Structure 1
């Protein structure tokens, strides 16, 4: 039997609470080095799930395993109830979209052409009728309409990041995997990107996002998975997992967690000690 015929071609109806992805006892290696060990994680429609942790904790590797771009060395990953290895690339692309850290394009495409690439999985399907509307909406959400005709290579790093995110949004999949989508962005566009992620979750999509900014994770994520040395140290709501002692231990640097005195918003900050200023 062809391996790729074991899972249905039909796109399952996704409603809040639907488990779109499931990692079970996942281990993973890169360049012969163990990066993940015994990771269990559930991705749920209607939620923003943030992956946080120090450099080298395994966040991007876990995202790659969930996406089906890196085969686990142990354990398994399921997407819509079927193991990821049983999906063809095309069927997988209709169920999840991935934003990598690096935003490169090999040819001289315009920004709009790059966004339109997100619609390629839907060619010759009934969903192709939505191509134009999906591209227009994604570009508006990411604030990139004004340079639609500019070459992608001529854009700044932050502009390329937003165009690449628009490509992912235009793909219109039930699960979106974002690897550090705010890294190259200014403050306002960081908030815009996370607000877009929040809106997609409110629309019953599942969003998994790798973040270094713990304040953004606290503000926008429904659940947070804290990774440490390739393992899940904690999973839960921001208030459940953002404990000062835990974060201080995981990051190896003193961290304080407190409520904003006016808004009540959860704030996570490093404990800074500065030498006295001299006049």
Structure 2
């Protein structure tokens, strides 16, 4: 299990996150939510091993994350950042195949090819496998990188007691309504297959529908954690976001949905 214990990160005298205690258990989709500047991306970088905490600890199965080699980490976790710069004239298929180029991921080429196409099919981009990545829209590029991460985790050799971890930084930010559902349904499906999945989401309504657990971050600290019904409350959200928030319930399923209460100047 990936765990943060009193984790904090400071840079240039500024504290970006502090006193973070949380876990991402296998089989669950955890949504990290909160206002801009709350420290969500910093926390994801800590959990991925991209940066080290300045105090506290990030551990994987009880072992300090910093003690894992890059190869060991690549077998255990895949990361889809908020944006990725790629200027090489790679095809969509070639970008996805990067997920299987990690040393030690040796598999028969035909198996890798088949799995890469399966991952593209999963995110709805199989028809674009030969298109240049640089010619894609922002949302299509994001889905290609999700397919790459899925291939990485599918190709990695792990013991049964070593579940994979998928970390997604705003995976739906550039997507239309239909593909938001496609991506989060797949994230939830990966969790049901045994992965530990965490996604940073700005859309609280998507988080309410798809997440098993919400972690609300505000000013670098966790201010609420629990099921969507436990976290998505008027007072909790209004304090975190600094505006009046009204939580409602869908008529049939009773899932929380959020409406900010804006007052237009006249």
Query: Structure 1 residue 274: deviation in Å?
Result: 4.8
Q: Which residue does the alignment assign to 1:109?
A: 90
CA RMSD in angstroms comes to 1.8
Contact 1:179/1:209 (CA < 8 Å) preserved in 2? yes
Q: For the structure 1 residues 128 and 53, does the alpha-carbon distance in structure 2 shift closer, same or farther, using more than 3 Å as the test?
A: farther
Q: How many residues align structurally?
A: 257
Which portions of structure 1, spanning 4 or more consecutive aligned residues, are displaced by more than 4 angstroms?
A: 126-130
**Match 1:252 to one of 230, 242, 246:** 242
Contact 1:94 1:122 (C-alpha < 8 Å) held by counterparts: no
Q: Give the CA deviation at 1:263.
A: 3.4
CA deviations 1:143-162 (Å, max 9, x no partner) are 11111111111111111111
Deviates more, 1:146-155 or 1:114-123: 114-123
Query: 2:57 and 2:99 mapped to 1: Cα distance?
Result: 27
Pick from 206, 210, 215 the counterpart of residue 220 of structure 1: 210
What is the aligned partner in structure 2 of residue 235 from structure 1? Answer: 225
Q: Name 2:138's counterpart in structure 1.
A: 157
Q: Classify 1:248/1:201 alpha carbon distance in 2 versus 1 (closer, same or farther; 3 Å).
A: same
The one of 134, 147, 159 equivalent to 1:166 is 147
Give how far 1:51 is off. Answer: 0.4
Q: Distance in 1 between matches of 2:257 and 2:170?
A: 20
- Aligned partner of 2:22 among 35, 41, 46: 41
Any gaps of 5 or more consecutive residues in structure 1? Answer: 1-19
Contact 2:87 2:134 in 1 (8 A): no
Greater mean deviation of Cα atoms: 131-140 or 217-226:
131-140
C-alpha separation in 1, matches of 2:108 and 2:242 = 48
Partner of 2:175: 185
The structural deviation recorded for 1:116 is 0.6
Residue number among 188, 203, 206 corresponding to 1:198 in the alignment: 188
* Structure 2 counterpart SS, 1:136: helix
Tell me: CA distance 1:268–1:167, structure 2 relative to 1, closer, same or farther (3 Å): same
Contact 1:37 1:231 in 2 (8 A): yes
Normalised TM-score (structure 1)? 0.87
Q: Does 1:56 align with 2:47?
A: no
Q: Please state if 1:96 is matched with 2:77.
A: yes
